[in-house]
Amino acid sequence: MAAAENQGRELLATAGVTVGGGEPYDLQVNDDRFWARVLKDRELGLGEAYQEGWWDAERVDEFLVKVFTADLRSAVRPSPALLWNVARARFSNRQTTGRAAQNASAHYDIGNDLYVRMLGEEMVYSCAVWDGTVDLAAAQEAKLDLICRKLHLEPGMRVLDIGCGWGGFARHAAGRYGAHVVGISPAGEQVREARDRSGDLPVEFHQQDYRDVTGTYDRIVSIGMFEHVGPRNYPGFFDRCDELLAPDGLMLHHTIGSNESKESTDAWFDRYIFPGGVVPSLHQIAGAAQPRWTIEDAHNLGPDYDRTLMTWFDRIESRWDEIPAYDERFRRTWCYYLLSSAASFRVRNLQLFQVVFSRTGQVSPTYRATR
């Protein structure tokens, strides 16, 4: 134990973190098993040790910013558990139609009482756009409107919303732009809530996988869904969109993005937050889109996600007492998810891409990027 603690303290010192120190980013160790656990399983061990209450920091996000900036992960050899996570992603498809439904339910069907308190009344679960506003609802409305303008939406257009969540985009596009929106999600609780919220608007929602959709649409959009497609399925995803989009249509995908191409995700996130999820790189997106799709615009909103996540954290942290069904371990798990994600965006390890596509081989008006 002493050897593990000494090694851990030395690594943290290189990141400017003091064990037991007085800065908000300094580490407070509550259980000495922390050291061996983290040195054994690296990012998986760090997250699990936090879930168990073995460590704390006044500002977990700032502690992780220090850790990420110093790249302490690279100084620790990956354990068999981490290597297995990579191998499993490489040799199996964890986003088949059946598995995709299970993965979605594991995250999105854990309780609307949690999500409405964290996300706000419209329950928009993706990066907001904070230009000129300090209010979450206004920032989310700005994001939804930006997407509609990028898609050049017009009244009467038929829009497919892949991964529609609780229907926030569909209601905005139908109510503000007069579009008819078909939203799909494999998560049953989302679909039921979306239907309940949409009244007489020209929207419809189906519990459905994108591979099972039929019809023709003037526009296709996905917001925070591409992360759940999986690298093995990227070409098939674009092929399916090609079958569904009208020849002169436009398509936009709003997705968290990685700086490097990977086949697997962080082992802790895979186990506890987004099973089967993988964050794509622009290289993977562009490669899978060949040769049928022209990239008309790529817009990076990554820094806005840091602020969005911290706002979600502040909202839910102040309201856990209203939802006592979620125990202390779940609360720590959820807080670590939000704060570690914010830290990753803050140090620019993660990005948020909005990518607009049109078809190749089509004579169409020049696309002018909207900001």
In eight-state DSSP terms, residue 281 is B
Confidence of residue 78 (pLDDT cuts 50, 70, 90): confident
The model carries a pTM of 0.94
Dump the DSSP string for 240-262.
HHHHHEEEEEEEEEEEEEESS--
Could you read off the pLDDT of 80-127 as tens digits, one per residue?
777 776 777 666 777 787 777 888 888 998 999 999 999 999 999 999
Where does the chain show beta strands of DSSP type E? 28-29, 55-56, 158-162, 180-185, 203-207, 217-223, 245-258, 293-300, 350-359
Mean pLDDT of the chain: 95
Q: How far apart are CA 157 and CA 159, in angstroms?
A: 6
- Among candidate residues 299, 314, 309, 297, the one with its CA nearest the CA of residue 342: 309
Q: How far apart are CA 88 and CA 215, in angstroms?
A: 35
Could you read off the pLDDT of 243-295 as tens digits, one per residue?
999 999 999 999 999 999 999 889 999 999 999 999 999 999 999 999 999 99
**Domains of the chain listed by start with CATH number:** 2-77 (no CATH), 96-359 (3.40.50.150)
Put residue 251 in one of left, alpha, beta given phi > 0 → left and psi -120 to 50 → alpha: beta
Tell me how far CA of residue 339 lies from CA of 24, 47, 313, in angstroms: 14, 11, 7
For residue 291, whether the previous peptide bond is cis, meaning omega lies within 30 degrees of 0, is: yes
Q: How far apart are CA 176 and CA 303, in angstroms?
A: 27
| pLDDT at position 91 | 67
